[in-house]
């Protein structure tokens, strides 16, 4: 039996057509990629108690967690991270690998806490920070991570002096370059603002980033001076979207608040930063919620049944906005000595409705 063999030219044409037909499917698959579920509980992960660590990983595995956030405390003086901290992060990375998860590693630095007058950010302070972040990346460069984070909640007064927003951009860029110098293959996420100005201790994120990056209320450059063309370096943007008092599908005024209910306008403002040339287009398309939760005690408490319903709504809304990952802050409530409690497990280990909901999220 004789089979006709197509000519090389015809075969090439067929290949081009097939690739053209497949391209939209590839794009759709990329854009519809599943949002990854994240979890943070630094108290448990840094514990010397094996049972506490096992509690975290047992529950993370059950919930199919794929991202775990850990923060390293910096006292603004140290130039090198404590080797024991690196050991604990590496231990967590090994445990994360067992459940097919990856770590986000960030910095917690309350450089302006309890100061009557704002702290002056000096070149010496930046130099220490550069050395400190570099030492973290140097200690972790040989293991796979989801990414590094440069600074936690810079729009919160205890974390950063609010009269120096543009200096924060320089500080974040210092961290970005230090991480990349030691570990160039790992992404670095930037931003991580507190979600809103719920108290006088914070500035709404939209307003903070416009001030930090020298933009008008219309998200355009204020002028052409060199200091007003500073770009915030990053491979992605991290945000916090807590809102303990409103549904995650309810808008909050002003639009500069980056709470969950304002997530669509938040994403618009992030894209506006890219259009203004202040962040890269790649970063604007790589947005992660690295803190979200509902508090279980105190004046900001959200009743558990309501929190469970809102959590499911928040997850669906974040997916619709093409957020890449969403991390719940705190697996288990600490003891009453801690002011912040937002666990999905009680201090005694009992699962709340939020925990059942969290496990079911896909």
Instruction: State pLDDT tens for residues 290-327.
Output: 999 999 999 999 999 999 999 999 999 999 999 999 99
Q: Give the mean pLDDT of 34-41.
A: 97
Residue among 226, 191, 213, 318 at smallest CA distance from 275: 213
d(CA 331, CA 88) in angstroms, rounded, equals: 18
d(CA 340, CA 342) in angstroms, rounded, equals: 7
Which two structure tokens, joined as six digits, stand for 6? Answer: 């197509």
Residue among 290, 37, 269 at smallest CA distance from 148: 290
Which pLDDT score, from 0 to 100, does residue 298 have?
Answer: 94
Q: How far apart are the first and last CA of the chain?
A: 53
Where are the extended beta strands (E) located within 41-101?
67-73
Cβ neighbours around 31 below 10 Å, total: 9
Which pLDDT score, from 0 to 100, does residue 318 have?
Answer: 98
What crossing angle do the helices spanning 304-320 and 353-360 adopt, rounded to 10°? 20
Which two structure tokens, joined as six digits, stand for 170? Answer: 């320089």
In order, the DSSP letters of 111-138 are TTTT-SSPPP--HHHHHHHHHHHHHHHH
pLDDT at 32 over 80: no
pLDDT digits (tens, 9 = 90+) for 185-200: 999 999 999 999 977 7
Domains defined for the chain, CATH in brackets: 35-360 (3.20.20.80)
d(CA 189, CA 328) in angstroms, rounded, equals: 17
Q: Percent of the chain beyond pLDDT 70?
A: 90
Average pLDDT over the chain reads 91
pLDDT digits (tens, 9 = 90+) for 161-185: 999 999 999 999 999 999 999 999 9
Peptide bond into 260 cis (omega under 30): no
pLDDT band at 227 (very low <50, low <70, confident <90, very high): low
pTM: 0.90
Is-contact 132 126, C-beta < 8 A? no
The b-or-e profile of 132-163 (16+ CB within 10 A means b, else e) is: bbbbbbbbbeebebbbbbbbbbbbbbebbbbe
pLDDT band at 224 (very low <50, low <70, confident <90, very high): low
Is-contact 180 233, C-beta < 8 A? no
Residues 6+ apart with CB under 8 A from 21: none
Task: Find the Cα–Cα–Cα–Cα dihedral 327, 332, 338, 341, rounded to 10°.
Answer: 60
Which pLDDT score, from 0 to 100, does residue 166 have?
Answer: 94
């Amino acid at each position: 039996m004789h089979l006709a063999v197509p000519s090389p030219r015809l075969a090439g044409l067929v290949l081009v057509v097939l690739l053209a037909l497949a391209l939209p499917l590839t794009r759709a698959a990329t854009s519809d990629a599943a949002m990854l579920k994240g979890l943070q509980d630094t108290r448990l992960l840094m514990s010397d108690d094996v049972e506490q660590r096992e509690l975290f990983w047992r529950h993370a595995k059950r919930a199919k967690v794929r991202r775990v956030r850990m923060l390293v405390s910096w006292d603004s003086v140290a130039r090198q991270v404590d080797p024991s901290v690196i050991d604990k992060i590496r231990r967590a990375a090994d445990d994360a690998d067992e459940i097919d998860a990856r770590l986000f590693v960030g910095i917690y630095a309350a450089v302006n806490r309890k100061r009557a007058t704002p702290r002056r950010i000096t070149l010496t302070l930046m130099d220490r920070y550069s050395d400190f972040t570099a030492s973290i990346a140097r200690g972790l460069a040989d293991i796979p991570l989801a990414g590094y984070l440069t600074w936690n909640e810079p729009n919160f007064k205890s974390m950063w002096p609010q009269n120096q927003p543009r200096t924060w951009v320089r500080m974040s860029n210092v961290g970005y370059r230090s991480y990349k110098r030691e570990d160039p293959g790992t992404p670095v996420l930037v931003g991580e603002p507190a979600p809103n100005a719920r108290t006088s201790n914070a500035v709404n994120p939209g307003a903070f980033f416009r001030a930090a990056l020298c933009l008008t209320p219309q998200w355009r450059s204020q002028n052409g001076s060199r200091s007003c063309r500073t770009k915030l370096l990053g491979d992605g943007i991290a945000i916090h979207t807590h809102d303990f008092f409103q549904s995650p599908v309810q808008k909050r005024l002003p639009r500069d608040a980056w709470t969950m209910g304002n997530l669509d306008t938040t994403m618009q403002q992030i894209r506006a930063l890219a259009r203004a040339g202040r962040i890269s287009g790649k970063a604007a398309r790589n947005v992660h919620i690295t803190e979200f939760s509902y508090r279980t005690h105190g004046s900001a408490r959200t009743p558990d049944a309501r929190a469970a319903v809102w959590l499911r709504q928040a997850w669906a809304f974040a997916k619709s906005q093409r957020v890449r990952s969403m991390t719940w802050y705190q697996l288990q409530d600490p003891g009453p000595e801690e002011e912040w409690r937002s666990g999905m497990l009680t201090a005694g280990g009992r699962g709340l409705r939020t925990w059942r909901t969290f496990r079911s999220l896909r």
